Amino acid sequence: MARIGISGWRYAGWRGQFYPPGLPQRRELAHVAGLLTTVEVNGSFYSLQRPSSWRAWAAEVPEDFVFGVKGPRFITHMKKLLGSRAGCNTSDLRGVLCVAAVCVRCRSGWSSGRWSVRV
């Protein structure tokens, strides 16, 4: 199955254009999920996301909606995946670990089901 999506959903320039005028920012992800089948969690590249955020995002979208999770830039760009194990601890991975907890229904690993981890 091919999925059509976007890389993130919080873009001020889209308000009143892609997003209907007056749509509260807190409803932007739900709006995306009503039109598309996947979205990238772009913020996971730039900073650690709170576990409560991962759970809230999962609750805002349909069961068959898929999130693409971008790997943290500290690991992918600064360490260039060389020796990244040394720089990778549970603080660095708390969002991804939360994804695993939220996504117990994933059928075959990280690349299918509700969440898709991209490094």
DSSP 83: S
CATH number of the structural domain spanning residue 10: 3.20.20.410
- Residue 119 to residue 45: CA distance in whole angstroms: 9
Taking only the tens place, the pLDDT of each residue in 101-116 is: 444 333 334 444 555 5
Q: What average pLDDT does this structure show over 25-31? A: 96
- Residue 83 to residue 67: CA distance in whole angstroms: 27
Q: Which domain holds residue 28?
A: 5-118
- Residue 71 to residue 119: CA distance in whole angstroms: 5
Number of domains in the chain: 1
Taking only the tens place, the pLDDT of each residue in 49-103 is: 888 888 889 999 998 898 888 877 776 666 555 554 544 554 545 555 555 444 4
Say if pTM beats, i.e. exceeds, 0.75.
no
